[in-house]
């Protein structure tokens, strides 16, 4: 069945974190009249972050949601058409490309910039959700600084967890690592570094039973997976490092991805395997995952899109 196209645009941006909004700012300035759909979480992961202190230009720091509002307002001032709505399906076999919004409306676009981001994987505990932003975090590099000189816990066993534990060990008095099995998945060199760091204690065969605290994190209760024994560790923060999931499902049959679902881009560009489709931000970056790098790649994607539209005579 053919899709009924209700609207045609030059440049469509899917997603509204630092990458999407920056792409919108640059695309607007280039006269591409971009239309941006904000997705399920307008503002992206930063809207669930409290204080952002590592983004250049904010000497006193800024609240994540406020910062995303600044990005959005700047994109609007440049002329971007910012809309609520979620991309639910795509057809990249035809040009203009076709994107379905909210399972009903189909839009055609000459160029598409995908900035759908990634979502942190969580344990699924009620206390984890309740204390998110009050000591519970999925980014040690973003939030570790707030717990300088304090005891913290981190859960995870891969390279990211090991890296974040080592990062925390430099600024926190003690790091309690919670590892489900009797070994880590991290590379040998990372494991050795963690094991040889004096202020990191690894709790093997352990899982998180509960995060304790009324208004902020005060302790974590862990359970030994072999004996069932429970113990409480007094900590000021609880970091979850069990991985991220790129929000790329609807593009799976169309775009080249790695085994984890991150969209592959041609090195040094935001180009995907389909000419005219670009990817920026955390949906294609599993290494840096910072607001500033996402914004940078949003700029790249808009410049790539402008060049593509110009060369093809669409713009």
Q: What is the DSSP string of 243-269?
A: -EEES-GGGTTTS-B-TT-PBP--TTS
Please name every residue paired with 202 in a beta bridge, in sequence order, or none if there are none. Answer: 177
Phi/psi at 23 (5° precision) = -60, -40
Neighbours of 2 (CB within 10 A): 8
For residue 288, what are the CA distances in angstroms to 156, 258, 293? 18, 16, 7
Under 8 Å between Cβ of 239 and 153: yes
Q: What size, in residues, is the chain?
A: 315
- Which residues are tagged catalytic? 139, 142-143
Under 8 Å between Cβ of 114 and 15: yes
């Amino acid at each position: 069945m053919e899709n009924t196209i209700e609207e045609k645009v030059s440049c469509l941006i899917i997603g509204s974190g630092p990458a999407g909004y920056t792409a919108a700012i640059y695309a607007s300035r280039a006269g591409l009249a971009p239309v941006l759909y904000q997705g399920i979480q307008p503002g992206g992961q930063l809207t669930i972050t409290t204080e952002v202190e590592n983004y250049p230009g904010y000497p006193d720091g800024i609240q994540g949601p406020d910062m995303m509002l600044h990005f959005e307002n700047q994109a609007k001032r440049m002329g971007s058409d910012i809309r609520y709505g979620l991309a639910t399906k795509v057809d990249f076999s035809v040009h203009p490309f076709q994107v379905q919004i909210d399972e009903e409306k189909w839009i055609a676009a000459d160029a598409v910039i995908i900035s759908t981001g990634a979502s942190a994987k969580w344990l699924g505990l009620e206390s984890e959700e309740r204390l998110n932003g009050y000591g519970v975090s999925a980014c040690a590099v973003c939030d570790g600084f707030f717990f300088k000189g304090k005891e913290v816990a981190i859960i995870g066993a891969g390279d990211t967890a090991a890296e974040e534990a080592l990062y925390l060990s430099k600024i926190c008095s003690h790091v309690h690592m919670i590892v489900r099995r009797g070994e880590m998945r991290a590379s040998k060199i990372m494991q050795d570094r963690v094991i040889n760091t004096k202020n990191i204690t690894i709790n093997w065969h352990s899982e998180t039973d509960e995060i304790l605290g009324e208004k902020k994190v005060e302790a974590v209760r862990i359970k030994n997976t072999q004996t069932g024994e429970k113990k409480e560790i007094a900590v000021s923060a609880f970091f979850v490092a069990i991985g991220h999931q790129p929000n790329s499902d609807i593009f799976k049959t169309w775009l080249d991805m790695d085994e984890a679902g991150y969209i592959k881009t041609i090195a040094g560009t935001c180009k995907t395997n389909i000419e005219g489709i670009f990817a920026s931000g955390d949906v294609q970056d599993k290494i840096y995952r910072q607001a500033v790098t996402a914004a940078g790649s949003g700029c790249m994607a808009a410049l790539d899109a402008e060049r593509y539209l110009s060369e093809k005579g669409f713009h």
